[in-house]
């Protein structure tokens, strides 16, 4: 039997789902790492050198667009955004670039000036809070929201910039508020509406209801306006909701590398890409996904949890006897494809990583024999047993140095 055949991997995920996830037949990815991502209170704002490397890798992953800063924040933000734009032009990157702005002309003006200086058409992601709770806290009313958003959008459009109107906390904003605000935005010339789950409140049902309601509203106008989904992870549903956003008709979904961002972060774009690749929804080259996330982690001072999917130190490690034995048997068959899937829902090799078998108190003799062979040590009678005996006395996995020390000690005891 060919080990790559479907007979070895029956998949309930695909038995009752339509052939393609997106009803639109296409969708795009938008990266917020360098803007929304670095708002996290524990996040270090990367150096410009790191930002340039990050945007190169973002482009290499086939991510369609990126928010690269909020120029209205001050001179450093203007300098960094300008440098990123010029670098992208010099490297002939394909990625589309945009900048965030509050619904104030003073926030949009520096974006227009950067666009004019560089000749780069920058998307304006113009945001304002719309939920009743936000309105109450700010002492805003609907008329104020309509005035601020309409004036800002009109100015950006007059400057020749594509406008993405971002309603913060959309998921907790009622239709009676969203309808007039969206209609005003569409009338003023926006190209996109971004639906935000700003505080991670949404469930998949909420994603469905909001996206479908918005699409119906847009269709009623006859305008060609795209729908974006921007989710956060406060309930731990950031990635899940983003996948559902694709299924429910979002044209573009947002996220950040490693899910960095305020509070518990944004939807992790790396996990969204990983899942859609494994689901067969995208076929772009993700071989640099690990490099991208590792760079973002280092540049922002974000440690990667050992159990983080794909990237964590433990993602493809095992010292459990039963699990390791199955992987080893697959390797003994000379079948790397099988070994990469027998105890892993994510094929490590697809992303430039590999399965790692170690020795600990839950290991079996096969773990030790495999470890010895992988380290170029021919197991002699009693050697593997000595290592296993030592491992059983510990409460954790042995390091390579500790295993080697047992082997050296075993040799020293031999005449």
pLDDT at residue 234 is higher than 90 = yes
* Helix runs in 42-141, H state only: 48-60, 75-90, 105-118, 132-138
E strands, 86-235, where?
96-102, 123-129, 163-168, 192-197, 226-231
Coil, strand or helix: which one is 266?
A: strand
Residue 78: the pLDDT is 98
Name the strand (E) or helix (H) holding 67. strand 65-67
| pLDDT, tens digit, 9 for 90 and up, residues 81-139 | 999 999 999 999 999 999 999 999 999 999 999 999 999 999 999 999 999 999 999 99
C-alpha Rg value of the chain to the nearest Å: 26
- Name all domains of the chain by residue range, CATH numbers in brackets: 20-300 (3.20.20.70), 317-413 (no CATH)
pLDDT at residue 210 is higher than 60 = yes
pLDDT at residue 6 is higher than 70 = no
Mean pLDDT, residues 232-246? 98
pLDDT at residue 4 is higher than 70 = no
Instruction: Judge residue 112's burial from the number of C-beta atoms within 10 Å of its C-beta, 0-12 exposed, 13-18 middle, 19 or more buried.
Output: buried
* Helix runs in 236-382, H state only: 238-247, 269-278, 289-300, 321-332, 336-339, 365-374
| Average predicted confidence (pLDDT) for the chain | 93
From the centroid of its chain, how far is CA 303?
A: 15
Residue 236: the pLDDT is 98
Q: How far is CA 348 from CA 106, 284, 287, 344, 397, in A?
A: 48, 16, 11, 8, 21
| pLDDT, tens digit, 9 for 90 and up, residues 264-315 | 999 999 999 999 999 999 999 999 999 999 999 999 999 999 999 999 999 9
| pLDDT, tens digit, 9 for 90 and up, residues 361-404 | 999 999 999 889 999 998 888 999 999 999 999 999 999 999 99
Strands 96-102 and 226-231: unpaired
Residue 411: the pLDDT is 86
| Pairwise CA distance, residues 291 & 258, whole Å | 12
pLDDT at residue 261 is higher than 60 = yes
Answer positive or negative: Cα dihedral of 125, 128, 131, 137.
Answer: positive
| Pairwise CA distance, residues 160 & 3, whole Å | 55
User: C-alpha dihedral over 152, 158, 163, 168, to 10 degrees?
Assistant: 0
Q: Are 98 and 123 in contact (CB under 8 A)?
A: yes
Looking at the DSSP bridge assignments, the partners of residue 101 are: 126
* Helix runs in 3-47, H state only: none
* DSSP per-residue codes, 178-190: HHHHHHHHHHHT-
Q: Please count the CA atoms within 13 angstroms of the CA of 20 that sit on its side-chain side.
A: 9
| pLDDT, tens digit, 9 for 90 and up, residues 187-201 | 999 999 999 999 999
Residue 173 makes CB contacts below 8 A (sequence gap 6+) with: 130, 131, 132, 167
Which residue bears the tokens 């493809």?
Answer: 316
pLDDT at residue 207 is higher than 90 = yes
pLDDT at residue 164 is higher than 70 = yes
Please give the angle made by the CA atoms of 388, 308 and 198, to the nearest 5 degrees. Answer: 160
Tokens linked to 245: 């956003």
Strands 123-129 and 96-102: parallel
pLDDT at residue 5 is higher than 70 = no
pLDDT band for position 1 (cuts 50, 70, 90): very low
| pLDDT, tens digit, 9 for 90 and up, residues 87-100 | 999 999 999 999 99
* DSSP per-residue codes, 75-94: HHHHHHHHHHHHHHHHTT--
| pLDDT, tens digit, 9 for 90 and up, residues 353-369 | 999 999 999 999 999 99
DSSP for residue 9: -
């Amino acid at each position: 039997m060919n080990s790559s055949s479907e007979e070895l991997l029956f998949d309930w995920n695909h038995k009752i789902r339509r052939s393609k996830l997106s009803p639109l037949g296409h969708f795009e990815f938008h990266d917020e790492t360098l803007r929304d991502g670095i708002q996290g209170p524990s996040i270090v704002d990367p150096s410009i050198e790191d930002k340039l490397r990050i945007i190169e890798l973002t482009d290499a992953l086939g991510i369609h667009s990126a928010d690269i800063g909020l120029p209205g924040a001050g001179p450093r933000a203007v300098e960094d955004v300008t440098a990123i734009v010029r670098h992208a032009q010099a490297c002939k990157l394909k990625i589309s670039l945009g900048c965030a702005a509050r619904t104030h002309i003073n926030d949009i003006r520096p974006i227009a000036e950067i666009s004019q200086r560089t000749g780069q058409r920058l998307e304006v992601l113009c945001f304002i809070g719309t939920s009743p709770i936000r309105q109450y806290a700010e002492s805003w009313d609907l008329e104020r929201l309509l005035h601020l958003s309409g004036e800002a959008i009109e100015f950006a459009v007059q400057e020749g910039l594509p406008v993405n109107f971002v309603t913060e906390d959309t998921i907790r904003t009622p239709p009676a508020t969203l309808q007039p605000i969206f209609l005003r935005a569409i009338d003023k010339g926006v190209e996109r509406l971004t639906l935000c789950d700003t505080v991670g409140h949404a469930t998949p049902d909420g994603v469905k209801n909001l996206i479908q309601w918005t699409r119906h509203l847009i269709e009623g106008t006859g305008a060609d306006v795209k729908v974006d989904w921007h989710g956060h992870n406060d309930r731990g549903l950031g990635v899940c909701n983003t996948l559902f956003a694709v299924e429910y008709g979002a044209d573009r979904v947002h996220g950040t590398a490693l899910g960095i961002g305020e509070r518990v972060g944004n939807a992790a774009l790396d996990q969204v890409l990983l899942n859609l690749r494994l689901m067969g929804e995208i076929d772009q080259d993700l071989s640099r996904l690990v490099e991208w996330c590792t760079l973002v982690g280092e540049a922002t001072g974000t440690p990667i949890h050992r159990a983080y999917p794909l990237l964590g130190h433990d993602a493809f490690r095992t010292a459990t006897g039963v699990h390791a034995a199955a992987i080893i048997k697959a390797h003994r068959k000379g079948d790397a494809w099988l070994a990469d899937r027998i105890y892993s829902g994510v094929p490590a090799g697809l992303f430039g990583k590999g399965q790692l078998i170690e020795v600990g108190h839950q290991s079996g003799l096969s773990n030790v024999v495999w470890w010895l062979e992988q380290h170029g040590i021919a197991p002699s009678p009693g050697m593997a047993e000595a290592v296993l005996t030592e491992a059983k006395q510990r409460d954790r996995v042995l390091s390579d140095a500790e295993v080697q020390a047992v082997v050296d000690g075993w040799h020293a005891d031999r005449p």
